[in-house]
Structure 1
């Protein structure tokens, strides 16, 4: 069981973790819905991770390559959705992909993601 008593980690999960991925009709709708749900609507860029918590934490605990100042790049690919806000239309464009992620770790837990 994972200790959820570390507020920066809890905030990271609230903002970036969606596993299993919420099912909607398309990536753009996904981003619109998730950004409203997470109270992040209007943020220009955002990333959602669609993997088990343990896989994300493991980037901080040996499954990531240290880059700088607590930032680590995953050794494995992650399923993610990148959301980009279109200010002109007030909606998001979503792009699903499988890629390596870069996260910031504190005390062995992810606390931020490089967007």
Structure 2
């Protein structure tokens, strides 16, 4: 039997819990879609291109052109925590973040030669999200800009 000291046991427990959380997350298609469409941390550098055009194309939201989409530039753990302590009940099944987060919102301006053209606004704001019964973010509420 291997004897573990306090710090080693704590590290092992932390590692095991991270593996469990990542396994649960990867088995939740609605949460994975939420991350693909709304999570970008750290913020992707798109040198020489417009951020929204590049990100919407990379994340598969340009066929057809999605009208509005927001990318949250915060660690995934901070976004998930909105479903718990980091958020408050807002209305229906929505949760309002307690903290303001860095968010880039992309709004469709139109199309040019078959490509979606977006207007981008980046700033700090509270966000509204919907969480599933297991406490995973699955919906970003675009209609409320706080």
Q: What is the TM-score of this pair, normalised by structure 2?
A: 0.73
How many positions carry a matched residue from both structures? 114
Name structure 1 gaps, 5 residues minimum. none
Cα deviation code 1:18-44 (max 9, x no counterpart): 111101248x80000000001102111
Q: Distance in 2 between matches of 1:84 and 1:36?
A: 14
Pick the structure with more helix per residue. Answer: 2
Q: Distance in 2 between matches of 1:48 and 1:88?
A: 21
Partner of 1:46: 69
Could you tell me which of 45, 51, 63 is aligned with 1:23? Answer: 45
List structure 1 segments (4+ residues) > 4 angstroms apart after TM superposition.
none
Partner of 1:94: 120
User: Higher Cα Rg: structure 1 or 2?
Assistant: 2
Name structure 2 gaps, 5 residues minimum. 1-17
Pick the structure with more strand per residue. Answer: 1
CA RMSD between the two structures: 1.5
Q: What is the TM-score of this pair, normalised by structure 1?
A: 0.92
- Which has the higher relative contact order, 1 or 2, with Cα contacts under 8 A spaced 6 or more apart? 1
Could you tell me which of 49, 70, 79 is aligned with 2:93? Answer: 70
